Structure 1
Amino acid sequence: MKKPLIILLIVILLALIGGGGWWLMSHHTEDKKGTEGIGSWFTSKPPQASFIEIKDLVITLQAEENRPRYLLLDVVLVVRGEEQSTQSQAFEPAVRSATVALLNNQPFDDVRSRTLLTLHDQLLKRYRDEAAHLGFQALPFDDIMISKMVFQ
């Protein structure tokens, strides 16, 4: 009599464990928040990206025809979180200065022939150098985007 009772208890226990596991998995994989099962419980999501626009950077370029040439550039800082946003806004004058220092009086044709990726990488390197010069351990933003580039 004890043997069938023990087997019945084991079957009930396994059924409860299986049912609980199914319920747990089905409710969290169908979650509308974009989670991906149990693994998402253990990973933290970075804050949503926000953007800080640095508009109307006017840079004088060298021209061979003895007439002035200009570049109008808009740069966007990609930040995550309130703290990074505040630090990036305080760093904005350094971004403006480093951008002008990098491109000012460069030959018009050289600047015009650069790809956006090349310019992006050169600007980011210059910003890192400027941050190090000012005593920052790292840039206060994650990345940059070039949103406008107008040559005259």
Structure 2
Amino acid sequence: MATSVHANNDLNTLSETYDAKARYEMSENDVKSYVYQWFAAFDHQRESGYFVNRIALPVKMQYPDTTPITSVEDFLAWYQGVTDNIIWNSHSITSMDVQGNQKSGWTVSYVVNWKAKSKTNENFDVMVKQELKVIRIGDALKLAELNASIVN
């Protein structure tokens, strides 16, 4: 019995010998996780506040065939267009590359296959090359820049 109590106490205890700086610094895996969570949120058409909380200010986003997004208001207008017109979508990321560090930020490059169905029954299956600039603000990663272009 004492063993299980001791084990339960250990569940919420961090190692005292692990390097404190390494525990605090964000890694390439943190950045990749951020990107995958960003797209999973689009796949589930999450509430707009989810995205707003993950966008740095100032922000600069450019999707194909849209006006640049340079503010929260611009993003909200763009996302309203998505939620008004798309009834289903999914994103499949391929060939992701992450460069940088938490001091300078990270550049993330990848290709994503976007599949969607509109409310007018139009189907989309598009390969999109994207490059992001992700920065750390406090304990959070935030999107500072996004440039997207259609892969032919």
Query: Normalized against structure 1, the TM-score is what?
Result: 0.25
Q: Which has the larger radius of gyration?
A: 1
Higher relative contact order (CA 8 A, sep 6+): 1
Which structure is higher in strand share? Answer: 2
Query: Normalized against structure 2, the TM-score is what?
Result: 0.25
Which structure is higher in helix share? Answer: 1
